[in-house]
């Protein structure tokens, strides 16, 4: 029987990413990894693309991973995992291995949205039985906070610094979660470590579904977001409550919004505690704040409509 | 029982892969390799192999998937050509750095720009220092034989290194030749069961692959890699000895042709060696002591053995089917020069660049070069140390 998703029961489980790794204090990424691995009752083999998580969890001769884990390069975490998963299928078919193993990739937004996008798209299209998890902190944090296609509109990064002419990142984020859904894979979801139970339920669900699955999980980075090191959970919660980071899933084409805030907080509640958005509060950038709020509103409305529109017939009748 | 057949180089290597029956193959189409993996794919579709194919979206992913598969714990192969190998370049170093015994036929093709799909050695030469073993093949028979030996070499517990098998694009990959196939059981027994080493799929004994190594230990790691290369030649020779027992065909680190008493000689890789041997026979008939050396194990390069084999000659021409754009010599020339450098008495070396982008190498090219060498041997005078041959002026 699966371990009940209660803190009491989960606390009895072994944490498979050990303490002593060198991620920054207050980083969201190791929280995500720990939650995902706690959610699984299966043995897991994982890969990571080059990035913070990789360089900080396995520095020779030490490793924080208590599961088989592989880092290959930056742009190929999905292709690498697809190779591991295929060898598993081959050996299983030949009767050379019999246990049930799950395959998970933990990679950052740079390695997922940008340089690893082709590798990810290919692996999803080929239908490998694997769960790809992007821990999205919205920039190339490992190399020193450069903009990625996951960086939000207006954010100040080292390659789109807020200056007197350019007020931070001029473009909106790439909607990767929807792009992955457009691959027609059986399960796509967004999650946040602030909503741990929702996150872990999604991981559990994903691991029970055969085929390629994708989860995008927000992972605050206090260095890049220029926020307090004890605010990772607070900020990821505000991301959900402002609908900047909606918690939803798309299962076989059916969209479900898992968390609908009773009171949708204004986007500035999420932006204000972060130094990367400080310049947006200057009077000359008011238009940008307004646009960012409009983008969030529009997206949220569309998502709710999508939920309505994709609702299965029986449910719709009730 | 061996069987004599008339097949192309691609067909021969595809058949070797069928007989070896890898657990996983990842492949991406690229001319002139495509036809090899196409043939292999039909073996998969018809259930003639147990292999799981991963039909990836690029060569970069092909090598990435091979790295994952090999680390997972099974026998892995892929194949590529020219720009495909170039796209894999980053991953080649990962495969060798992780000591994963991946086998990859490389159907040699030129690099862009300008775009050209035909045979030359620019691709494999660009990857020669990636930590892979390279075996080069004159014809379809050698490509087939090298493919079978490659798995034994790659998976040898003393080395565990990836191996490339080079064969000339179109000239060998697409030409029909007479070759001898070994029977399936003989190949199966020769290659043997795959031995796992730190497999990722052993979840009871978790291992981490691909750590970050800082300046405190990176250099020791690299030296260990350099040291393992020194063990390769012995493994290659031992595997060749076993292979001779099942095939009657003899392989070494390189082949010499009428070289022992030669005064002038050619050093040349792959298919053009065959053409050259015919011309050498003609020169021998005329009383000119000509010979040839054809490297087989090109990486790691057997510098000492090749230096010993060449040191007694008066003049040697190294023919390169790839140029090194450093306003210097071709890559093979530089290796040959290194191998004879420390001898006091050594042959005069010249370098010719030939056959780029599929340009034919004709017997008359070998004739021109051998005549020039005979003149150098007589006079000691060299007009040009490096030039292109078979090219419009």
Task: Write out the CATH class of domain A16-317.
Answer: alpha beta
Task: Inspect the interface and report whether the beta carbons of A73 and B90 lie closer than 8 Å.
Answer: yes
| pLDDT at residue A192, rounded to an integer | 98
Q: Hey, is the C-beta of A264 within 8 angstroms of any chain B C-beta?
A: no
Query: Which positions in chain A touch B24 (Cβ < 8 Å)?
Result: 83, 86-87, 90
- The single-letter DSSP state of residue A235 is H
Contacts of residue B363, Cβ cutoff 8 Å, sequence gap at least 6:
B275, B278, B279
Q: Could you read off the pLDDT of A144-180 as tens digits, one per residue?
A: 999 999 999 999 999 999 999 999 999 999 999 999 9
The CATH number of B255-388 is which of 3.40.50.920, 3.40.50.170, 3.30.70.2740, 3.40.50.261? 3.40.50.920
Name A108's bridge partners. A135
Q: How far is CA A262 from CA A217, A240, A259, A300, in A?
A: 22, 11, 9, 14
How far is B213 from chain A, CA to nearest CA, in Å? 5
How far is B22 from chain A, CA to nearest CA, in Å? 10
Task: Inspect the interface and report whether the beta carbons of B67 and A83 lie closer than 8 Å.
Answer: yes
| pLDDT at residue A316, rounded to an integer | 64
- Chain B interface test: which of A46, A90, A125, A128 (most B C-beta within 10 Å): A90
Q: Hey, is the C-beta of A72 within 8 angstroms of any chain B C-beta?
A: yes
Residue of chain A minimizing CA distance to B53: A86
Task: Inspect the interface and report whether the beta carbons of A87 and B60 lie closer than 8 Å.
Answer: no
How far is A198 from chain B, CA to nearest CA, in Å? 27
Task: Inspect the interface and report whether the beta carbons of A87 and B74 lie closer than 8 Å.
Answer: yes
Where helices occur in B113-230 by DSSP H, the ranges are 122-126, 140-154, 184-191, 218-229
- Chain B interface test: which of A72, A75, A129 (most B C-beta within 10 Å): A72
Alpha carbons A16 and A34: distance in angstroms, whole number: 7
| pLDDT at residue B2, rounded to an integer | 86
Topology match between the domains B3-247 and B255-388: yes
Q: Are strands A187-191 and A248-251 parallel, antiparallel or unpaired?
A: antiparallel
Q: Hey, is the C-beta of A233 within 8 angstroms of any chain B C-beta?
A: no
Alpha carbons A145 and A139: distance in angstroms, whole number: 6
- The single-letter DSSP state of residue A167 is B
| pLDDT at residue A2, rounded to an integer | 86
pLDDT band at A68 (very low <50, low <70, confident <90, very high): very high
Residue A317: how many CB atoms within 10 A of its CB? Answer: 7
Residue of chain B minimizing CA distance to A59: B212
| pLDDT at residue A312, rounded to an integer | 92
Alpha carbons B308 and B303: distance in angstroms, whole number: 9
pLDDT band at A193 (very low <50, low <70, confident <90, very high): very high
Query: Which positions in chain A touch B66 (Cβ < 8 Å)?
Result: 83
Would the pTM count as exceeding 0.95?
Answer: yes
Query: Which positions in chain A touch B90 (Cβ < 8 Å)?
Result: 73
Query: Which positions in chain A touch B208 (Cβ < 8 Å)?
Result: 58, 63, 65, 68-71
Of A34, A10, A13, A37, the closest CA to residue A23 belongs to A34
Strands (E), A151-277: 187-191, 213-218, 248-251, 254-257
Of A76, A33, A274, the closest CA to residue B91 belongs to A76
Q: Could you read off the pLDDT of A211-228 as tens digits, one per residue?
A: 999 999 999 999 999 999
How far is A29 from chain B, CA to nearest CA, in Å? 18
Query: Mean pLDDT, to the nearest integer, of A24-53?
Result: 98
Q: Could you read off the pLDDT of A239-260 as tens digits, one per residue?
A: 999 999 999 999 999 999 999 9
| pLDDT at residue B1, rounded to an integer | 67
Task: Inspect the interface and report whether the beta carbons of A83 and B26 lie closer than 8 Å.
Answer: yes
What part of B 171-210 touches A (C-beta under 8 Å)?
200-203, 206-210
Q: In what order do the strands lie in the sheet with B103-108?
A: B52-55, B24-27, B76-77, B103-108, B163-168, B133-137, B297-299
Query: Mean pLDDT, to the nearest integer, of A224-240?
Result: 98
Q: Are B48 and B179 in contact (CB under 8 A)?
A: no
Q: Hey, is the C-beta of A12 within 8 angstroms of any chain B C-beta?
A: no
The tokens describing B74, both together, are 């099974």
Query: Mean pLDDT, to the nearest integer, of A64-78?
Result: 98
ipTM (interface pTM): 0.97
Indicate the domain borders of chain B.
Answer: 3-247, 255-388
Task: Inspect the interface and report whether the beta carbons of A45 and B203 lie closer than 8 Å.
Answer: yes
Alpha carbons B124 and B121: distance in angstroms, whole number: 6
Phi, psi angles (nearest 5°) of residue B31: -70, 140
Alpha carbons A193 and A284: distance in angstroms, whole number: 34
Strands (E), B126-281: 133-137, 163-168, 176-181, 208-209, 254-257, 264-267
Of B131, B50, B123, the closest CA to residue B87 belongs to B123
Alpha carbons B20 and A282: distance in angstroms, whole number: 68
Residue of chain B minimizing CA distance to A44: B203
pLDDT at A137 > cutoff 80: yes
The mean predicted confidence, pLDDT, of chain A is 97
Task: Inspect the interface and report whether the beta carbons of A119 and B213 lie closer than 8 Å.
Answer: no
Alpha carbons B264 and B308: distance in angstroms, whole number: 15
Of B90, B41, B34, B39, the closest CA to residue B63 belongs to B90
- Chain A interface test: which of B22, B54, B72, B204 (most A C-beta within 10 Å): B72
Query: Which positions in chain B touch A97 (Cβ < 8 Å)?
Result: 201
pLDDT at A317 > cutoff 70: no
Alpha carbons A303 and A310: distance in angstroms, whole number: 10
How far is B32 from chain A, CA to nearest CA, in Å? 23
Task: Inspect the interface and report whether the beta carbons of A81 and B68 lie closer than 8 Å.
Answer: yes
Alpha carbons B135 and A54: distance in angstroms, whole number: 35
| Residues A125, B77, B228, A84, CA torsion sign | positive
Task: Inspect the interface and report whether the beta carbons of B211 and A118 lie closer than 8 Å.
Answer: no
CATH homologous superfamily for the domain B3-247: Thiamin diphosphate (ThDP)-binding fold, Pyr/PP domains (3.40.50.970)
Indicate the domain borders of chain A.
Answer: 16-317
Task: Inspect the interface and report whether the beta carbons of A122 and B57 lie closer than 8 Å.
Answer: yes
Name B25's bridge partners. B53, B77
Please identify every stretch of chain B with a pLDDT value under 70, giving residue numbers as ranges: 1
Of B294, B292, B284, B278, the closest CA to residue B363 belongs to B278
Residue with tokens 């060998």: B172
Alpha carbons A145 and A142: distance in angstroms, whole number: 7
- Helix or strand or coil: residue B309? helix
Task: Inspect the interface and report whether the beta carbons of B61 and A122 lie closer than 8 Å.
Answer: yes
Phi, psi angles (nearest 5°) of residue A80: -65, -45
Closest residue to A83, CB basis, from B55, B65, B210: B65
Task: Inspect the interface and report whether the beta carbons of B209 and A81 lie closer than 8 Å.
Answer: no
Residue with tokens 């994982």: A46
| pLDDT at residue A318, rounded to an integer | 58
Residue of chain B minimizing CA distance to A77: B64
The tokens describing A34, both together, are 């720990």
Q: Hey, is the C-beta of A22 within 8 angstroms of any chain B C-beta?
A: no
Task: Inspect the interface and report whether the beta carbons of A69 and B206 lie closer than 8 Å.
Answer: yes
């Amino acid at each position: 029987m699966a371990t009940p998703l209660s803190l009491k029961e989960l606390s009895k489980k072994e944490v498979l990413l050990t303490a002593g790794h060198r991620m920054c204090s207050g980083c969201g990424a190791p929280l995500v990894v720990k939650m995902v691995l706690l959610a699984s009752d299966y043995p897991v083999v994982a890969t990571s693309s080059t990035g913070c998580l990789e360089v900080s969890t396995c520095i020779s001769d030490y490793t924080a991973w208590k599961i088989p884990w592989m880092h290959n390069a930056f742009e190929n975490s999905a292709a690498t995992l697809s190779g591991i998963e295929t060898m598993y299928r081959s050996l299983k078919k030949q009767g050379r291995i019999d246990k049930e193993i799950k395959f998970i990739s933990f990679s950052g937004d740079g390695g997922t949205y940008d340089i690893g996008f082709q590798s990810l798209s290919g692996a999803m299209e080929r239908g490998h039985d694997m769960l790809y998890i992007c821990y999205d902190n919205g920039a190339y944090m490992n190399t020193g906070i450069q903009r990625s296609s996951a960086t939000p509109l207006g954010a100040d990064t080292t390659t789109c610094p807020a200056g007197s002419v350019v007020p931070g990142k001029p473009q909106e984020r790439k909607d990767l979660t929807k792009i992955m859904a457009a691959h027609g894979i059986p399960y796509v979801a967004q999650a946040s470590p602030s909503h741990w139970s929702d996150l872990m339920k999604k991981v559990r669900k994903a691991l029970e579904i055969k085929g390629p699955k994708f989860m995008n999980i927000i992972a605050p980075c206090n260095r890049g977001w220029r926020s307090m090191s004890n605010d990772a959970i607070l900020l990821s919660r505000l991301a959900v409550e402002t609908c900047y980071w909606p918690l939803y899933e798309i299962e076989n084409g059916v969209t479900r919004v898992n968390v609908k805030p009773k009171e949708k907080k204004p986007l500035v509640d999420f932006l204000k505690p972060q130094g990367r958005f400080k310049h947006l509060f200057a009077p000359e950038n008011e238009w940008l704040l307004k646009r960012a709020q409009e983008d969030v509103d529009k997206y949220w409305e569309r998502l709710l409509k999508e939920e309505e529109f994709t609702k299965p017939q029986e449910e719709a009748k009730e | 029982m061996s069987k004599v057949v008339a097949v192309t180089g691609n067909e021969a290597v595809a058949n070797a892969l069928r007989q070896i029956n890898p657990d996983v193959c990842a492949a991406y189409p690229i001319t002139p390799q495509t036809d090899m993996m196409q043939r292999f794919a039909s073996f998969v579709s018809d259930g003639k192999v147990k292999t799981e194919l991963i039909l990836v979206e690029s060569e970069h992913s092909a090598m990435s998937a091979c790295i994952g598969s090999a680390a997972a714990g099974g026998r892995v192969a892929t194949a590529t050509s020219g720009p495909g190998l170039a796209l894999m370049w980053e991953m080649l170093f990962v495969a060798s750095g992780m000591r994963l015994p991946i086998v990859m036929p490389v159907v040699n093709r030129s690099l862009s720009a300008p775009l050209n799909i035909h045979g030359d050695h620019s691709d494999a030469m660009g990857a020669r220092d990636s930590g892979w073993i390279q075996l080069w093949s004159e014809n379809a028979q050698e490509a087939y034989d090298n493919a079978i030996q490659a798995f034994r070499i790659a998976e040898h517990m003393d080395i565990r290194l990836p191996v490339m098998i080079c064969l000339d694009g179109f000239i060998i990959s697409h030409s029909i030749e007479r070759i001898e196939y070994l029977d399936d059981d003989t190949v199966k027994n020769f290659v043997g069961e795959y031995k796992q080493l730190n497999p990722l799929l052993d979840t009871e004994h978790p291992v981490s692959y691909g750590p970050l190594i800082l300046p405190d230990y990176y250099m020791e790691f690299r030296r260990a890699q350099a040291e393992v290369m020194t063990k390769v030649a012995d493994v290659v020779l031992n595997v060749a000895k076993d292979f001779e027992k099942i095939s009657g065909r003899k392989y070494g680190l390189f082949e010499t042709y009428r070289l022992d008493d030669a005064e002038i000689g050619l050093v040349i890789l792959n298919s053009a060696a065959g053409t050259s041997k015919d011309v050498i026979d003609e020169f021998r008939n005329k009383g000119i002591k000509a010979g040839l050396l054809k490297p087989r194990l090109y990486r790691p390069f057997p510098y000492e053995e090749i230096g010993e084999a060449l040191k007694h000659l008066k003049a040697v021409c190294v023919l390169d089917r790839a140029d090194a754009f450093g306003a210097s010599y071709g890559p093979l020339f530089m290796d040959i020069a290194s191998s004879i450098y420390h001898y006091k008495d050594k042959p005069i070396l010249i370098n010719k660049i030939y056959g780029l982008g599929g340009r034919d190498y004709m017997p008359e090219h070998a004739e021109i070069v051998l005549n020039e060498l005979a003149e150098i041997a007589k006079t000691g005078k060299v007009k040009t140390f490096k030039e292109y041959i078979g090219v419009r002026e």
